[in-house]
Amino acid sequence: MTPLDLSAAAAAERVRAGDLDAGELWELYRGRAAADDLGAFVWVAEERPGNPTDGPLGGVPVAVKDLFCTAGVPSQAGSKILEGYRPPYTATAVERLTGAGAPLLAKTNQDEFAMGSSNENSAFGPVRNPWDRERVPGGSSGGSAAAVAAGLAPWAIGTDTGGSIRQPASLCGIVGLKPTYGAISRYGMIAFASSLDQAGPLTRDVADAALLLSAMVGKDPCDSTSLGLPEPVTEPTATDLRGVRLGVPEEVFETEGVESGVLAAFEATVELARQLGATVERCHLPHAPHALSAYYLIAPAEASSNLARYDGVRYGLRVNGDADLLTMYLRTRGAGFGPEVKRRIMLGTYALSSGYYDAYYGTAQKVRTLISDDFRAAWERFDFVVTPTSPTVAFPLGAKTADPLAMYLNDYFTVPMSLAGIPAISIPNGLSERLPTGFQLAGPAFSENRLLDAAHALERAIGFDGSAARA
């Protein structure tokens, strides 16, 4: 076994014990990252930063989504409008990782401003899935997911607004966790939809996700919405699901577009959960089918406000307006934003416009409340709700770029949890057509430790082998 075969947690333990040199580990991953042929990275470090190696992350390098500001390092959000932008400060989440001993290895490619489910919207080119290079890795954190799945990075972080950690984790056969909203500071994360955006880990296994999460969580005076977690994140150790109550929403079986292979893998995992001691019953989330519609009003509305700051005046791209300020704005934004970002800005601006605010944005927020109420009712009977993560396996590059609705439907199972602000994790649970499928567990707010334990028990029983993607 080489150091590249070790989980990140195992590598960190060996570094701290003196059995593995942190510099050697860095050079191995730095070489892998520099040879990236998936389009997973937009920047790779030239040399190892001087991080401590005695911290909990033990000198194991981390890849960071390009949506996080990193001082002096390109932070471009996958957009031409920020091409080459090097911020003067670093995001709190990244600072906490580097302070805990994880040096910054690379910045990962992503859908522009985190808007996409395939990582084809990046101004820096698409990312390819390591299981099949003619297929997408999912999005918007597709670069992070592909890098971890391919063994180009030991672990990575991404952001999840409507499924952007969990869906690419599913399509790439790795673990992806969206924590409770507010568990991790958003300071220094380039904003898409502020009431939904949340950072989280993408890792090879559940134990790695817990370790990376433990270093990222915490209240931050720079982010008034940050809460941290009520208890420290602990290493997951559960080997069974005795006493755990799982709810399977009826809506899983009533939804069109779920591939038969995905559904078969889901049902097999539910049966495995029963064998591990879980109680499994059907439940009903009556407003979940409306989540996607609500999300695609709320998120674009917030995006239209957040992205107003990119005007060519303060930072990023600036296109000459021939001494006319409005023309400069129009030319800069027209040249700097890609088609999907423009589409969502227009949707959001319309939803917030006079005469339409209550009918669209206001109504969507009421639906959001009803979805949260549905989950609160579910927690009276169940510990977790489980669904497939994505309705399909990874689809071919270009297959859905001309059909925005078909692309948006990739987030059908992940958006409800984002609207409710609750934690959810995706673990790989099998193959369909020789491509990974994902199993999603969602729990009440701040239930991360119990969620990680349940996922760990299932992960051990499933025994998924992702080595084919690292070949």
* Residue-wise pLDDT tens digits, 298-319: 999 999 999 999 999 988 999 9
Q: pLDDT > 70: what percent of the chain?
A: 100
| pLDDT tens figures, 157-189 | 999 999 999 999 999 999 999 999 999 999 999
- DSSP-assigned letters across all residues of 63-98: EEETTB-BTTB---TT-GGGTT---SS--HHHHHHH
Within a domain: 450:
yes
Place of tokens 């400069």: 328
Q: Which of 118, 164, 390, 418 is catalytic?
A: 164
* Beta carbons of 107 and 74 less than 8 angstroms apart: yes
State whether residue 264 is helix, strand or coil: helix
Within a domain: 207:
yes
Q: What is the pLDDT of residue 52?
A: 74
Q: How confident is the model at residue 373 (pLDDT cuts 50, 70, 90)?
A: very high
Q: How confident is the model at residue 466 (pLDDT cuts 50, 70, 90)?
A: very high
Within a domain: 274:
no
**C-alpha–C-alpha distance, residues 344 and 25, integer Å:** 42
For the whole model, what pTM was predicted? 0.97
**C-alpha–C-alpha distance, residues 221 and 235, integer Å:** 27
Question: Is 226 in the active site?
Answer: no
State whether residue 202 is helix, strand or coil: strand
Q: pLDDT > 90: what percent of the chain?
A: 93
* Beta carbons of 460 and 453 less than 8 angstroms apart: no
pLDDT at 218 over 80: yes
Within a domain: 337:
no
Q: Which of 79, 117, 122, 140 is catalytic?
A: 140
pLDDT at 51 over 80: no
Q: Which of 65, 80, 107, 400 is catalytic?
A: 65
The amino acid occupying position 218 is G
CATH of the domain at 34: 3.90.1300.10
* Beta carbons of 131 and 107 less than 8 angstroms apart: no
Within a domain: 318:
no
| pLDDT tens figures, 401-451 | 999 889 999 999 999 999 999 999 999 999 999 999 999 999 999 999 999
State whether residue 12 is helix, strand or coil: helix
Residue 78 is part of which domain span?
A: 3-240+445-470
Q: What is the mean pLDDT of residues 339-365?
A: 94
Which of 46-60, 103-117, 217-231, 335-349 is predicted with the least confidence, judged by mean pLDDT?
46-60
Question: Is 65 in the active site?
Answer: yes
Within a domain: 169:
yes
Domain count along the chain: 1
Question: Is 140 in the active site?
Answer: yes
CA angle 416, 422, 428 (to 5 degrees): 75
Q: How confident is the model at residue 49 (pLDDT cuts 50, 70, 90)?
A: confident
